[in-house]
Amino acid sequence: MKPPNSFWASFGFAGRGVWHSMRYQRNLRVHVSIALIAVTLGWLIGLSSLEWALVVLTMASVLTLELVNTGIEALVDLVSPGQHHLAAVAKDAAAGAVLVAAAASVVVGLLVYGPQLGHFGQRFMIRWQESPAVIVAWGVVLALCYVVIWGVVPARKRREGGQNRIGGTP
């Protein structure tokens, strides 16, 4: 029998953290939804390998920081159940890190997708002529992802903590 802190168990713990965040953090669901749109649009317009690398790294940075923000907020709520200015600073700084990454992702998106959006209709029609079934299947998969992200995954958020914000309660 493997010890509970094995290498493989750490993947399970990490997955549990992502799953919990998807269920309880609306902003993570928003970021995942935008990432799905970015992937779909990238596939439709045919991004180059370098463009895909930029998009994937940008998406990963935003999602990673959102997960870190969730962890910091949970930890602050645990150790500081009452209101404290420094707790608010920690939570707001973590949220600020996500905001900076999200703003940078908009700039990357404009640089990568912007020049190609003028030809979107033409590229979409080429994809459609090549294989309409793939486009329909992609649309169905995308729709199912949104049903899971917004309809099945979310749980009612219990209001635990959350009071440590600069300027009062959220």
Active site residues: 66
How far is the C-alpha of 5 from the C-alpha of 115, rounded, in Å? 49
Q: How far is the CA of 60 from the CAs of 56, 57, 66, 127, in angstroms?
A: 6, 5, 10, 27
Angle between helices 132-147 and 120-130 (to 10 degrees): 110
* The pair of three-digit structure tokens given for residue 115, joined into one six-digit string: 């020049």
Sequence-ordered list of residues with C-beta below 8 angstroms from that of 135, at least 6 positions apart, any chain: 127, 128
Buried b (16+ CB within 10 A) or exposed e, 61-81: bbbebbbebbebbbebbeebe
How far is the C-alpha of 91 from the C-alpha of 81, rounded, in Å? 13
